[in-house]
Amino acid sequence: MALRYDTATTPPPSFAEGGNMRQKVRATGLDPNYWYAVEFAHRIQPGQVLEVVFWKRSIALFRASNGELHAIENRCAHRQLKLTLGSVEGCRLVCLYHGWSYDGEGRVAAIPHPLFGKTMPELRVASFPVRVRYGLVWLFPGDPALAEGRALPEIPELEGPGRWACRPLSFTWSAHHSMIIDNVSDFTHAHLHRKYRPFGDARLLRCETVGDNVHVSYDTEVGRGRISGLFVDHRRIDTNHMELCYQYPYQWSNTDDAIKHWLFVLPIDEHRTRMFFLFYFKSFQIPFTRIPIPRGAMDWVLRIANRWLIAPLLDQDRSAVEAEQNAYAQHWTAPIAELNPAVRAFQEVTVRKWQAYLDSLDAPSDAARRVPSPSASSQAK
Ligand code: FES
Ligand SMILES: [Fe+2]
């Protein structure tokens, strides 16, 4: 029997249109009722505004002259221009066109032209809670009433006087967020990294979903690359084992409590994802010795490692997942041949959480959880 040449003639289905697990997961957003890393805190200075996109919703993030950060819907209530085209004046964001100015809660606070005998209208756009931690700006794109009850990821190693060295990296890849989660937690792709050898010979020991978390562990050889291997003290650190977790919507890994990372994804749309990688290390050794590199020098070592090891390594992942995204658009009808059960487990959680979020929007008793839609959130009071 001749094999079918499986090229799709239509675009992949939306989430509502359904399909198999892979087709559903590639169409999911992430539940907005979590905190999402959206920018490095130092990248937005007083008087600056920039655009953040969370799952197709544009948000204007601005820092007032007093240093406070605010996030409001990126849409002027007057004629819908993006507010990020405007400027920050004092504690307000001023629209480019007619100069209407918005406070941090998204209220129109001033209109600088005549009102033609009318009273000042009470208008506002949606606003979003913002926090700063670990050098990142965190935004809560969902229902603001739920923000207090939702914790940010706890990373004690990155706070306090004895904090570990960490220089976060950020990239925007042309791929769905689920492909990136699959990539970072699935160690069957050592072939892609055969030049750098961040892991190798991986054997899956555990794959268990507990609530909204998928725990995975591998016996694997960590950090055996020609250069990276010189900096890791393999006699003090057990580099033959790694724990990972998809802690929805985040992801982390841990090698012997000495080498760790967190990945925070920011879903932009079905084809684009921004991500923040925080790799952090208890210590490195001076190559060919067992002498730890002094803490003061670790930031410099990490700068060099990011540039010459980690960024090139992740660029290999970028090229692979972007190729996967392109391939999915062309061959989404082709049968799935997935061997690693961890991949299926991640996808099940992502689909379940997205379905639960969509269901919460439809539940009449739960109307308060609804994230205001762009058209509904501009209210004339
Ligand atoms: S469009 Fe923004 S002030 Fe008119
Ligand atoms: Fe990889």
Domain boundaries, the chain: 36-146, 159-349
Residue nearest to atom 1 of ligand 1 (CA): 79
Ligand closest to 195 (CA) is: 2
Three-state SS for 359?
helix
Residue nearest to atom 4 of ligand 1 (CA): 98
The distance of Cα 247 from the centroid of its chain, to the nearest Å, equals 12
pLDDT of residue 288: 64
pLDDT of residue 287: 66
Q: Residue 252: name the closest of 215, 299, 282 by CA.
A: 215
pLDDT of residue 375: 39
| DSSP H or E stretch at residue 268 | strand 259-269
> pTM of the entire structure?
0.91
pLDDT of residue 235: 66
Q: Residue 218: name the closest of 193, 177, 184 by CA.
A: 184
Digit-coded pLDDT (tens) for 8-47: 889 999 999 988 999 999 999 999 999 999 999 999 999 9
pLDDT of residue 136: 97
The atom of ligand 1 lying closest to the CA of 80 is 1
Peptide bond into 249 cis (omega under 30): yes
pLDDT of residue 191: 92
| DSSP H or E stretch at residue 329 | helix 311-331
pLDDT of residue 230: 59
Report residues whose beta carbon is within 6 angstroms of any ligand 1 atom.
76, 78-79, 81, 95, 97-98, 100
Q: CATH number of the domain at 159-349, out of 3.90.380.10, 3.40.718.10, 3.40.50.620, 3.30.1380.20?
A: 3.90.380.10
> CA triplet 101, 371, 68: central angle to 5 degrees?
40
The atom of ligand 1 lying closest to the CA of 76 is 2
| DSSP H or E stretch at residue 346 | helix 341-362
pLDDT of residue 374: 39
Residues less than 5 Å from ion ligand 2, measured at CB: 317
Give yes or no on whether 36-146 and 159-349 have one common fold.
no
**CB within 8 A of 198, min separation 6: which ones?**
222, 223, 225, 228, 313
Which class would CATH give 36-146?
A: mainly beta
| Dist. CA 366–CA 352, nearest whole Å | 18
Residues of the chain under the 70 pLDDT cut: 1-3, 223-235, 284-291, 364-381
